[in-house]
Amino acid sequence: MATQSSDNASDNAVKPQLFGTATPFVIRKIGLSDLSDALRLGWEDFKAIPTHAIVLCVIYPVLGLVLFRLVLGYSVLPLLFPLAAGFTLIGPFAALGLYELSRRRERGEEAAAWHTMHVLRAPSFGAMLGLGTLLLALFVTWIAAADGIYIATFGHAPAASVPDFAARVLRTPEGWWLIIVGCGVGFLFAVVALCVSVVSFPLMLDRHATAIDAIRTSLRAVVKNPFAMAVWGLIVAVLLVIGSLPFFLGLAVVLPVLGHATWHLYRKVIEPDPNPPQEQPRLRKGHRYAADFPASLFPWSHER
């Protein structure tokens, strides 16, 4: 009997390693109230640290390039929706700076828009960059797949105009086939991105996890909370659609709120470190004076 117990203990010790669960990160079971609370806290962070100007500075040059291309021709029209929808694939990586702001505010440290740059000095930034590259490859693959589906449906001939393109997609059987197949394939890409990144980047930023451990933990979080994670993915998709109307203006608010909310979702899902490293918090600074100029333009250069 003692031998059998010893064998069972040995099996239990080996199984976590075989199935990739031997990580120091404990996953909680969450519900819909936790998702609502994460969104509420994300909104509170955005109100305290408004970053909409930064988002606009990133979004509108890209939109300008798209509009410039539209002036030259309509061949880019089939990719507009895939490009907009595909942002959900790389969004977790693009929100790194927002996680840092939420983290600093949570710790009672000074938090302002320029502190987003501190992620570049994170010990796990290399791991975050590696996973971000993986998501970028997933995004490029999705765009190629969407383009291939359109070409297989309508061929290489570009639309003559925007109304012509809309008529092709919405008023023909081929167009509806394109919508159904494209949305189905896009859904699969979105599920993959959600599973590997729902808590990965906050975990790497906060606990300095490796990319492999972060992905493994994210997958375990989805397996333990399938319904909550499915609802979270739906919330993200709906808010991005709403934020895209009209003329993508709403994204200046939706993207930061979702970024901050993702940090708080991570806090809901992953148990905090029982033995956190002793770090001296950087307290909020008081007023700055004219004598501090121009050094005050680069506040990170004075931090130790």
What's the pLDDT score for residue 2?
A: 44
Query: Residues 140-184: pLDDT tens digits?
Result: 899 899 989 998 988 887 776 778 888 888 888 998 999 999 999
Q: For the whole model, what pTM was predicted?
A: 0.77
pLDDT over 70 at 12, yes or no? no
Q: Distance (Å, rounded) from C-alpha 97 to C-alpha 112?
A: 11
Neighbours of 73 (CB within 10 A): 10
pLDDT over threshold 90, residue 20:
no
Name the least confident of 73-77, 128-132, 215-219, 266-270.
Answer: 73-77
Domain boundaries, the chain: 27-272
The count of C-alpha atoms lying within 13 angstroms of the C-alpha of 222, restricted to the half-sphere facing its C-beta, is: 18
pLDDT tens, position by position, 227-261: 999 999 999 989 888 877 766 677 778 888 999 99
E strand spans, the chain: none
DSSP assigned state of 270? B
| Residue 14 reports pLDDT greater than 50 | no
Residue with tokens 């109100």: 47
Render pLDDT for 109-124 as a digit per residue (tens, 0 to 9).
887 778 888 888 999 9
Q: What are the residues facing 270 on neighbouring strands?
A: 27
